[in-house]
């Protein structure tokens, strides 16, 4: 990963504090993490590398037995920068600005007069008081079933079968985005596998085992 790439960094104590704050705090953290996953292609490549490493064991390579599987991480790889926490001097902050492109508009109608309670349903709208809320859609697990067609030629009698996409070669599997999040939480944020399992179960409803991670 490029050393200059911006990333969300949390200490172990900060992560534990978020967990103690309850489900809403955990959801907010995950939403922030998901919002930063603009490097999906890089994560997918990392997943492929990890899957390749998983296939190598002490029995089929020069890898020592102690290297089979994921070992326990005992020390953070992060280095202290010597800088104070928070925004640095000269750093330009990011402020929400009005957007000209919106995904959805919700109109809040005036039904009755707030003074005499006369019905206003058929009255024209004079103007709107508008505000914008920046948020992400509800985070939930989506199951997509892929079906490859099989057809028989009426002329030669032979059957032809369309191929499934690469990500759906197995009968049941996790998609690249979810696998990318798994890698990011474990490798990028250094969360223990048990905590990752709990987080994915509570936030997106994915019952992932530690063995899968």
> Cβ distance 111 to 121 under 8 Å?
yes
Lowest mean pLDDT among 27-41, 60-74, 187-201: 60-74
Q: Which of 46, 27, 65, 55 is nearest to 186 (CA)?
A: 46
**CA pair distance 192, 211, nearest whole angstrom:** 12
- Is the per-residue pLDDT at 191 higher than 50? yes
Higher pLDDT pick, 6 / 79 = 79
Confidence bin at 92 (pLDDT 50/70/90): low
- Is the per-residue pLDDT at 36 higher than 60? yes
User: Please, what is the Cα angle at 174 between 191 and 180, to 5 degrees?
Assistant: 45
Confidence bin at 109 (pLDDT 50/70/90): very high
Per the prediction, the chain carries an average pLDDT of 79
Lowest mean pLDDT among 55-64, 148-157, 169-178: 55-64
What is the pTM assigned to this prediction? 0.45
DSSP code for 156: T
**CA pair distance 161, 144, nearest whole angstrom:** 20
At 1 the pLDDT is: 45
**Helix or strand or coil: residue 210?**
coil
At 71 the pLDDT is: 47
Write out the E strands in the chain. 150-152, 159-161
Torsion of CA 11, 17, 23, 28, to 10 degrees: -50
At 213 the pLDDT is: 86
Residue 154 structure tokens: 């009426």
Confidence bin at 68 (pLDDT 50/70/90): low
């Amino acid at each position: 990963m490029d050393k200059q790439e911006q990333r969300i960094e949390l200490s172990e104590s900060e992560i534990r504090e978020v967990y103690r704050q309850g489900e809403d705090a955990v959801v907010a953290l995950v939403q922030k993490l998901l919002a930063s996953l603009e490097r999906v292609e890089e994560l997918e490549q990392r997943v492929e590398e990890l899957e390749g490493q998983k296939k190598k064991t002490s029995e089929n390579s020069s890898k020592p037995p102690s290297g089979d599987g994921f070992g326990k991480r005992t020390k953070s790889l992060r280095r202290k920068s010597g800088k104070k926490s928070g925004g640095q001097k000269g750093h330009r902050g990011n402020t929400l600005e009005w957007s000209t492109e919106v995904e959805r508009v919700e109109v809040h109608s005036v039904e009755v007069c707030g003074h005499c309670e006369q019905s206003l349903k058929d009255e024209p709208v004079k103007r709107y008081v508008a505000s914008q809320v920046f948020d992400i859609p509800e985070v939930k697990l989506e199951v997509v079933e892929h079906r490859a067609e099989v057809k028989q030629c009426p002329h030669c009698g032979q059957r032809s079968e369309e191929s499934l996409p690469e990500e759906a070669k197995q009968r049941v599997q996790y998609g690249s985005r979810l696998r990318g999040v798994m890698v990011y939480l474990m490798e990028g944020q250094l969360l223990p596998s048990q905590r990752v399992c709990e987080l994915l179960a509570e936030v997106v409803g994915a019952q992932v085992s530690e063995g899968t991670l």
